[in-house]
A and B are shown apart, each in its own frame.
Chain A
Amino acid sequence: MFRLKVADLAKRFGSRKVFSGLTFELSTGDSLAVVGPNGSGKSTLLMTLLSLYRPTKGQVEYFEEDHTLDEFQVRSHTSFVSPYLNLYDQLSAEENLKFFSAVGGGAVTGKQINRLLKKVGLDGRGSDLVVEYSSGMKQRLKYAVALLKNPAFLFLDEPNSNLDKEGKQLVADIVKKYRSQCITIIATNNEKESHLAQKQFRLGL
């Protein structure tokens, strides 16, 4: 059982306040949609939760049972799909998957790669360089990278961006599959996407 505890979280960029006073707690099986207009700080909140941004004030703590997880333990349990996370354009999809598995300490096999690529609708395109992919295919590949591990924390920022109808269905299937096994946070300004989560949290009011 994993827990995420956020207390009085605030973030400023210089004199501009992005958000403040955020307090919530989530456990395995909880899913939260962070909604709000453009510029309301949804992506910033996700980046702050993952220590990619330093909070101006407040605390973010992760727990496995009763013990606190450090930043690197958290990241090893996290899958994050975001427009801000780029993959290596000059590597093929297979090479990207092998690399991200290896730097995480794993060793993904060719069979597993083929299975992942099939799952995200990229079968037969694994040896192509990512630079040759469309934006939708790149987004699908991000999901394949995210599914390299069995996440305890699944963070999705604008999960359907650039995806076609089948791609959106793929995202819905992934969220439904993992929602009960992990803490899911979805940052979106799309009404349909927000319904993938059980709870809603509005930023920018």
Chain B
Amino acid sequence: MPKSSSGLAYRALAVFIKDIRLELRTRYALNAVLMFAVTTLAAVSFSVGQSGLSAQLLAALFWIILFFSAMSGLAQAFIREEEAATATTLRLMADPDSVYIGKLMFNFTLLCVLAAIITPIFFIFTDAPTDNLPVFVLVLVMGVIGLVAATTLVAAIIAKAFVKGALFAVLSFPILMPLLLVLILATEKVMGGGTLGDIATEVQFTVAYGVVMIAGSILLFKFVWGE
């Protein structure tokens, strides 16, 4: 198992491609995430419709839908390994860094797919303003990175527990709370006509959050995964 950095990228990519291949064959995580997203979106759109909600409410609703949809699927990458009893094989054959980075890439892809489906439907159903779409997409991508960075390590922790689903949301929520508040604030500003300059502080926070979470997770993952 070579430990060079170029080797690390290669090995992490192998984990990522394997997870994508398994996901395309089983739809294990994608189905869970999409069903939750479609259900919540339908409920929200039927109840509030195009009733002209404030930017503050729309932003909160959007991130609530994305957060809970993500909670239903992001842990699957690790849960699948534990339930299929392949986790021990992976522990033995792969180094923890490549497993973590591969799973992080997989969760990022999964959440990007989810966001790409949810966002246009949300905008159509709620008639949310779309004047500042590029800035909104930037906030969305930063939010996805933050969500994935924080939850991938938690997913590895809860994969061995008996009450996985409930525990995932319970453990993730306190870690994600500051990020969600900042994302809701940034989205509210963007929907209210704010420019990139208006959300500079929120962007800085989100970048810092993502960097700290990923760096911390890489340091801690080997202890969580090896236990």
For the complex, what is the distance from the CA of A102 to the CA of B94, rounded to whole Å?
9
Which of chain B's residues have a CB closer than 8 A to the CB of A100? 89, 93
Interface string of B22-61 (1 = CB under 8 A from A): 1001100000000000000000000000000000000000
Is A104 a contact partner of B93 (Cβ separation < 8 A)?
A: yes
Is B14 a contact partner of A102 (Cβ separation < 8 A)?
A: yes
Is A85 a contact partner of B88 (Cβ separation < 8 A)?
A: yes
Is A105 a contact partner of B10 (Cβ separation < 8 A)?
A: yes
**Interface residues contributed by chain A, number (CB under 8 Å):** 27
| Contacting residues of chain A (46-61) with chain B, CB-CB under 8 angstroms | 50-52, 54
A177 to chain B, nearest CB (A): 21
- Give the residue among A84, A86, A105, A145 with the most B Cβ atoms within 10 A: A105
For the complex, what is the distance from the CA of A73 to the CA of B15, rounded to whole Å?
19
| Contacting residues of chain A (74-127) with chain B, CB-CB under 8 angstroms | 75-76, 78, 80, 84-91, 95, 99-100, 102-105
Q: Taking A86-B84, A88-B22, A90-B22 as contacts, is the C-beta distance between A52 and B91 under 8 angstroms?
A: yes
| Contacting residues of chain A (25-55) with chain B, CB-CB under 8 angstroms | 50-52, 54
Is B226 a contact partner of A85 (Cβ separation < 8 A)?
A: no
Q: Is A13 an interface residue (CB 8 A)?
A: no
Q: Is B197 an interface residue (CB 8 A)?
A: no
Is A88 a contact partner of B1 (Cβ separation < 8 A)?
A: no
Which of chain A's residues have a CB closer than 8 A to the CB of B227? 54
- Give the residue among B1, B2, B85, B98 with the most A Cβ atoms within 10 A: B1
Which of chain A's residues have a CB closer than 8 A to the CB of B95? 72
A91 to chain B, nearest CB (A): 7
Is B85 a contact partner of A103 (Cβ separation < 8 A)?
A: no
For the complex, what is the distance from the CA of A73 to the CA of B226, rounded to whole Å?
14
Which of chain B's residues have a CB closer than 8 A to the CB of A84? 85, 88
9 contacts between A and B (CB under 8 A): A78-B92, A86-B84, A86-B89, A91-B21, A99-B17, A102-B10, A103-B93, A104-B93, A105-B2
Which residues of B come within 8 Å of A, CB atoms? 1-3, 7, 10-11, 13-15, 17-18, 21-22, 25-26, 84-86, 88-95, 98, 226-227
A86-B86, A88-B22 given; name 14 further pairs at CB < 8 Å. A52-B91, A73-B1, A75-B92, A84-B85, A84-B88, A85-B89, A86-B89, A87-B86, A88-B18, A90-B21, A99-B14, A100-B89, A103-B90, A105-B2
